[in-house]
Chain A
Amino acid sequence: DADVTQTPRNRITKTGKRIMLECSQTKGHDRMYWYRQDPGLGLRLIYYSFDVKDINKGEISDGYSVSRQAQAKFSLSLESAIPNQTALYFCATSESGTGSEKLFFGSGTQLSVL
């Protein structure tokens, strides 16, 4: 079984709809992240959480919200989806302290907003 699991793998939605992407991990890591990948722009950080009570905005948080339901679960919501949120979304985890820059990624969710 994958250490970092994202659901769904693919999602097509319409402009204005609310959607949620889910992430769960079995690595026991405290830190969790949501990134989006766009061609030529690499991976950009949306939100991150260092523990259950800690939520922080990343580089591109506008239009997104997150919930850290438990140490192992971190979900990303698009309250009202728009076409430029079409992208590949990745959840990632890392340890606390030394080595925390080494991220472990899920397989991604391809989101298309029509």
Chain B
Amino acid sequence: QTVVTQEPSVSVSPGGTVTLTCDLRSGSVSTTYYPSWYQQTPGQAPRTLIYSTNIRSSGVPDRFSGSMLGDKAALTIAGAQADDESNYYCVLYMGSGIWVFGGGTKLTVL
């Protein structure tokens, strides 16, 4: 069974920059998995931030960016703000209509 791993929790200072990563327990993440990233605050539906590794969804501020860091997908938030405090999920597309979600990263801004 495919397992996608993310940091369980990360903290960043207001105005700072933070990078969250997305890895495969066995194997490497590549752009062929079309990594996407979603933000979810408690009680809300997920919000699409990034798709196809590095394309920002409509309306997403440019301080959110996606990239590959070696064999991991990455989400970088620059100039972190208080309302960036959320859970962030990486999703990999395995092909043939199958997706795998990472366990999520809880971002604290303090």
A and B physically associate: no
Could you list which residues of chain A lie within 8 angstroms of chain B, going by C-beta atoms?
Answer: none
